[in-house]
Amino acid sequence: MFNLNYATVIDPLLRNIRIYTLEFSGMKAGDRVLDVCCGTGAQAFHYAKRGIIATGIDLNPNMIKLAEASKRKQGFQNVLFQIADATNLPFQDGSFDYASTSFALHEKEMAARDRIISEMKRVVRKGGTLVFVDFQVPLPKNLSAYLVRVIEFMAGRRHYRCFREYAKQGGLGEILKKNQLLEEKKGYPNRLITVIKTTNP
């Protein structure tokens, strides 16, 4: 039920940030892009629409099932989905030009966050690009941020603990710095969400 609600309720709400992420990243047709923790595949589909060769991975088989169904419905040939663990990606070193992840790191425990980032760095070629999308820290004091906190709390004890740990750690900027990634570009005209682009050293 949650998977269906995510596709029908959450994905439409995130449409603008999905488009922004594509434009912000500088991806172009023919680039090889991995979307980590892809969920229903919404971000990967935006990549595919621009002629990008997109691969989406997620550990949740129900999410991959939804992504595959949407792929068949839309008739994409340049996007692939597979069940995979983001902390142990089944790809060779330097397989992609880009790797992205959206609203996933705040759901993970600290050690898992670090492993995911390390794996993203490994599978992206040297000089390639990594793109991260997640909540701004600290969250603004407005209604949208309040709703985010409520949703995160309702998602369950473990989920909320990870969300609070993400905030305590300092959000994306500090997490990437810990993982030896320097922020190259930061954007999105919304204090609730931040997008960071960095070059793989």
Do 150 and 123 touch, CB atoms closer than 8 A? no
Q: What's the mean pLDDT when you consider all of the chain?
A: 92
Do 148 and 185 touch, CB atoms closer than 8 A? no
Strand, helix or coil at 104? coil
pLDDT tens, residue by residue, 160-196: 999 999 999 999 999 999 999 999 999 997 789 999 9
pLDDT tens, residue by residue, 119-154: 999 999 999 999 999 999 999 889 888 888 988 888
Distance CA 129, CA 143 (A): 33
pLDDT tens, residue by residue, 19-32: 999 999 999 999 99
Domain ranges, ordered by start, for the chain: 2-199
Q: Which CATH architecture has domain 2-199?
A: 3-Layer(aba) Sandwich (3.40)
Q: What is the pLDDT of residue 1?
A: 41
Q: What is the pLDDT of residue 15?
A: 78
Distance CA 81, CA 68 (A): 7
Q: What is the pLDDT of residue 155?
A: 83
Residues in the chain: 201
